[in-house]
Structures are given as C-alpha cells and as structure tokens.
A and B are shown apart, each in its own frame.
Chain A
Amino acid sequence: MPIRVNALSKHFRLFKREAGLSGAFRSFFNRKYEDFHALREISLDIEDGEILGILGENGAGKTTLIKLLVGLLHPSSGQVDINSFTPWNRKTAFLKQISVVMGQKNQLWWDIPASESFLLNQKIYEIEKTEYDRRLKELVELLAVEKKLNVQVRRLSLGERMKMEIIAALLHNPKIVLLDEPTIGLDVVSQSKIREFVKYYNQQYGTTFLITSHYMHDIEALCKRVFVIHAGKSLYDGNFKELINRVNPRRKLQFEFSEIPNSGMLDSLGNEFEFELKDTFLRAELPDSDLTRLVTQLFKLSSPASITLEDLPVEDTMRSFFANPEQFLQ
C-alpha cells in the first residue's frame, strides 16, 4: 500500500488568554482566537515495506501528520492517497489495513487482562479463529510476554504494556503501522527489544512502518530514510546517514603511540590539524578527509599501540541539528 501525500496542510483555531484569574475572566467574556498552522504544504511518497522515521522537535507537526495519515483528522487542504483510499473517509477496508500505536496512550482495556482486548480485536477486525490463534502465538513468543497475557493491564510494567499494545495493533496483520514514540519512557533493554521486533517484523511481512521518536537510537537502528518536519514545514526527506554527515561530518580518532615522537614533529602536525595530546594518546574530531591525512602522517611518525575510529554520538549530532535545523540544510 503506497502512501502519497500531496500539499497537505492543517491549521487549528486555538484560543489564547493571559495567565491568571483576571485573564480567565477577560477571556470568559471576550475570547481571543488565533490560527495555528500545524502543517504547511507537506508532500511525501512512501513505498511498500519502507521504515520511515518522522523527525522534528516537540510541536513540529509529526503527530498531526500521523493523525492525518490514519484519518483521525480532516486536513485544511491537500490530499492523501493510500492505495486509493482517502484516510479521513474511514472506510472499513482501509481501517483494517492500518494500525497505530501511540506510546503515551493506552488502547487496551485498563482493568482487564490484555488477552481479553485481543479477543475483542479479533471480533472487531473479523479475524478468522485459526489465523488469530497463530498470529497471537507468534507475536506473544516474539515479544516474550506469554506469562503476562492474563494479568490486568494496569498491573503491567510500562515495557510490558507497550509490547501488549504492539500485539493488539498487529493482530489483524495491517499493511501500514504508525508508531508514535513507541519507546518513550522504556528502559534500554525494552527499547532495544522493541527495535529488534520492528526490524524483524518489517523484514518478515514487508509491513510499512512510520515511526516518530525522540530517541535517535530508534531511528538509527530502524530507518534508512527520514522525513524532517520543522515548524510544520518539510525540511528534509532522505537518507538518515547523509543527514548526519551533513550536520556533523566529523569522526572521533584515538591514536595510542607505542613511542612518543619528538615534540617538533608533533608541533608541525599541530599547525595542520586540531588534536589533543595526553600521555601516549592523541585524540581528534575531524572530517573524514582530514582524518585520513592525519592517520597517514601519524603512521609515518610512529607505529600505534592501538587505534580507534568512531562516529560522534547520533543523539549529540541531532541535538545540534534541531537547535538550528535550517542552518544545516541551506
């Protein structure tokens, strides 16, 4: 089910008031409204089986885009075509092919075990009994929650609850799954299990995933392609690694000398490259081309006791990107 988004815009009418009791009184008699443009002219094509990361700061428009794609909202203008369906018409055939997991919202019945909510979903999506049993067994085993199936949802840990939410969302074998902050608040082990699961599921079933997350490790592990929204506008659509390189093309080098070269040689290197020398270790953060030249020179000076080369942490890179995204993409 390819997704075609064309010039999609959404604005909300929000009411504003000053803080405090007097502001509340004034607004009671004279309410002031203003238009908030959540999305402006967004265009996007997503092919079958892709995992697309939707990135942006809080309030950038990511969740609004997801809500429009699944038909929760009507747009102010523009079109969305998902396999000839218009999402906000909410046709049953369309709803049976999509699913949404919102990390901060619970879709399961809170006071009863998740297994009951799964049975309800079986009836709602009209899943044939043997197919339902097979899929439930597979999903439960993959996410390792066999022992938690009959525990009240409100008594589950956050990670277990998220796994149950994912099972509920996948039981009807949707073609498109939208995950909005699926790992929010989870510990690193649970985060990594969810990532592994999404990766496996995408490869196994060719399901299209659209993921929003503030954890860049989620995006790095799952998404080749990202779509960046800033202030409701499309800012970047392309390869995630290319984006990282554009934002911060530097890498980290740590070179351990087996024998410290004489200071004169190092001084002349210092005129050409920026690095830090401590004991027998030389550390530098440089673009790839400079790093290659530096390493070549270092080998000429001394043989290394050890050498490591690593990317800068992606979280740090993206933090500096979101501080001023337009600057990096000019």
Chain B
Amino acid sequence: MKGWIEKYLSVVRMTWIQTLEYKANTIVGAFAIFSGLAIEFLIWKQVFQAQGATEIRGFTFNGLIAYIFLCMIVGQLKSSWATSIEMIESIRTGELNKYLIRPVSFFTYHFMMFVGHNSLFYIVYTTILILFPIMLPGFAFMTNLHVGGFIMALLLSIYLSYAIYYCMVCFAFWFGEVRSLVIAYNISNIVLSGQIIPLRLFPDTARDIIYLTPLQYLVDFPVSIATNQLPMELWLPKMAVSFAWCVAMTLAGAVIYRAGIRVYGGFGA
C-alpha cells in the first residue's frame, strides 16, 4: 500500500514540476477565475437593478453572489475535461501504450495528474474561501461543521466528475474521436449542475429531472452545504447517494475500459 501511495503521489509531484517549468502560464492559469467572477458579479448586479428586486427566489444579491462564486470555484476544481481530452488523444494516437507497458493504472495515473494540475488552483481558491466569511459574512461557512461538510461533498464531487468523464473517454476505444461528446457534456454540465445558475432557479420539472442524475452532486450539493441552503439532516443521506454514484461510475468505467482495451489497436505508436 505504501508503494502504491508513493507511486501515485510521485505523479502529482511530476505535474507540479511540469507546471512550474512555465512561469507565465502558471500565474495566468492560477488567477484566470477572477475574470469569470467579475463577469458573474456584473451580470447579476444588472439583473437585480433592472428588476428593482431585493430577492430572487429567496436569494438576496449578496447571498446569490456568494452562491455563484462558490459554484464557480467548485466547478473549476472538479472540472477534469482538459485531462479527459488528453486521455482521448492518448487512445487515438497510441500514446496510451506508454501507460499500458508499465505497472500503472490508466484511471489512477490520470486522476493524480488531474489532481496535480489542479492543486495550484486549490491554493488560490482556498485563499478565496478563507476570505469568504470576511467578505460576505453570514452567507457561507457559518460553522466549522459547514466547512467540514463542504470539504467532504467537494471531494466526492471531484471524484464523481472525473469518473463520469472517464466513462466517456473509454468510448474512444471504439470511436477514436469522442472529444465532441466530452465537450458537449462539459457545456451542458456547466449549466445543469448549477455552476452558472443555481438549481433552485430552474423550472420545477427540469430540476426534478436533474435530481435523478448525478449532476446535482457535482456543484449544487457542496455549495448548498456551504451556504446553509440544505438542511443538515439531509447531508448524510445525500452524501451516501453521491458516494453510490461514485461507485457506480467507477464500476461502469472499469467495465467499459476492459471491453475497450480488447479492441484497442495501439495505432500510431
């Protein structure tokens, strides 16, 4: 077990070294989210001013901004679409061979690469999250329990998001080019997971359908815990369902991968 942990932690270490090779790219990447936060702030300011409202579906302006800022941060932290595109490319071009000939798991190796690349964001975003209760007091992280619940739900969200992408990646064994599938999912998932507009502002029918899918556990669930929008008695049952989705998606990915690797041609390498 120690060897296994060291093996995959060294992948994280490699991604850090690689990221730090390019200073400008690293700095721009780390602070890129601020442009998105500024745009969301300006849009919702206009919406509230135009409607002359102090509340929209129970959200005050500050409450909504806190919610949306958190959604963007969670959305960014769990988003592994860039890693998925890389994985599809490696199947298509035969680069996958270099993982197959070594005692490493394609799934875990890339998950750790994704974690490694994103860790830089974790540092910047954690700083924002620490400043959150000071900048927007009373809207998020009211107690330590909320902080703990949020971290648990966030970890589940990061893993679940990767496991969903992985299932799609594995279809590249048959179709070669599935980047459009990943991009289509990525665009719809940004909206349907509540990353741009809170799920509570969706029409009831649409929201009910989304609640049947794992999408609500990607962004809405951790953010609802942090902003105290979800009663505490629902935290554990929802975490159990989120965990079950993680298991289901991991198993589905493993089954698709096992079938896919049998038809893999290893072309181009």
The number of residues on chain B lying at the interface, defined by a beta carbon within 8 Å of a beta carbon of chain A, is 27
* Residues of A close to B21: CB separation below 8 A: 111-112, 152
CB-based contact A124/B14 at 8 Å: no
CB-based contact B101/A126 at 8 Å: no
Tell which of A74, A99, A126, A152 touches B261, judged by Cβ atoms closer than 8 Å.
Answer: A74
* Residues of A close to B265: CB separation below 8 A: 12, 73
Confirm or deny: A114 has a beta carbon within 8 angstroms of a beta carbon on chain B: no
Q: A72-B97, A120-B10 are in contact. Are A112 and B17 (CB under 8 A)?
A: yes
Confirm or deny: B57 has a beta carbon within 8 angstroms of a beta carbon on chain A: no
Confirm or deny: A119 has a beta carbon within 8 angstroms of a beta carbon on chain B: yes
Confirm or deny: A32 has a beta carbon within 8 angstroms of a beta carbon on chain B: no
User: Which chain B residues in 220-269 approach chain A with CB under 8 Å?
Assistant: 261-266, 269
The number of residues on chain A lying at the interface, defined by a beta carbon within 8 Å of a beta carbon of chain B, is 31
Q: A67-B266, A105-B97, A111-B18 are in contact. Are A95 and B7 (CB under 8 A)?
A: no
- The chain A residue with its CB closest to the CB of B264 is A73
Q: A73-B266, A100-B101, A124-B102 are in contact. Are A109 and B10 (CB under 8 A)?
A: no
- The chain A residue with its CB closest to the CB of B4 is A126
Best-buried of B21, B102, B261 by chain A (most CB within 10 Å): B102
* Residues of B close to A125: CB separation below 8 A: 102-103
CB-based contact A105/B269 at 8 Å: yes
Q: Is the interface of B mostly helix, strand, loop or mixed?
A: helix
Best-buried of A70, A96, A105 by chain B (most CB within 10 Å): A105
Q: Give bound CA distance, A19 to B226, whole Å.
A: 58
Tell which of B9, B22, B103, B269 touches A96, judged by Cβ atoms closer than 8 Å.
Answer: B103
* Residues of B close to A111: CB separation below 8 A: 18, 21-22
CB-based contact A124/B103 at 8 Å: yes
Q: Give bound CA distance, A95 to B7, whole Å.
A: 15
Q: Give bound CA distance, A107 to B99, whole Å.
A: 9
Interface string of B98-110 (1 = CB under 8 A from A): 1011111000000
* Residues of A close to B101: CB separation below 8 A: 70-72, 95, 98-100
Q: Give bound CA distance, A300 to B79, whole Å.
A: 88
Tell which of A99, A102, A116 touches B269, judged by Cβ atoms closer than 8 Å.
Answer: A102
- The chain A residue with its CB closest to the CB of B10 is A123
Confirm or deny: B6 has a beta carbon within 8 angstroms of a beta carbon on chain A: yes
Q: Give bound CA distance, A120 to B18, whole Å.
A: 13
Q: Determine how close the nearest CB of chain A comes to the CB of B92; give it in whole angstroms.
A: 14
- The chain B residue with its CB closest to the CB of A71 is B100
Q: Give bound CA distance, A100 to B97, whole Å.
A: 10
- The chain A residue with its CB closest to the CB of B176 is A15
CB-based contact A119/B262 at 8 Å: no
Interface string of A118-141 (1 = CB under 8 A from B): 011101111000000000000000
Q: Give bound CA distance, A152 to B22, whole Å.
A: 12
Q: A100-B101, A105-B97 are in contact. Are A126 and B7 (CB under 8 A)?
A: yes
Confirm or deny: A90 has a beta carbon within 8 angstroms of a beta carbon on chain B: yes
- The chain B residue with its CB closest to the CB of A110 is B18
Best-buried of B18, B95, B269 by chain A (most CB within 10 Å): B269
Confirm or deny: B140 has a beta carbon within 8 angstroms of a beta carbon on chain A: no
Sorted from nearest, which 7 A-B pairs have the closest CB atoms?
Answer: A123-B10, A95-B103, A92-B103, A107-B98, A126-B3, A123-B7, A105-B269
Chain A residues near B (Cβ < 8 Å): 12, 67, 70-74, 90, 92, 95-96, 98-100, 102, 104-105, 107, 109, 111-112, 116-117, 119-121, 123-126, 152
List 12 A–B pairs whose Cβ atoms lie within 8 Å, in order of A's numbering: A72-B266, A92-B103, A95-B102, A95-B103, A107-B98, A111-B18, A111-B22, A112-B21, A116-B14, A123-B6, A124-B104, A126-B7
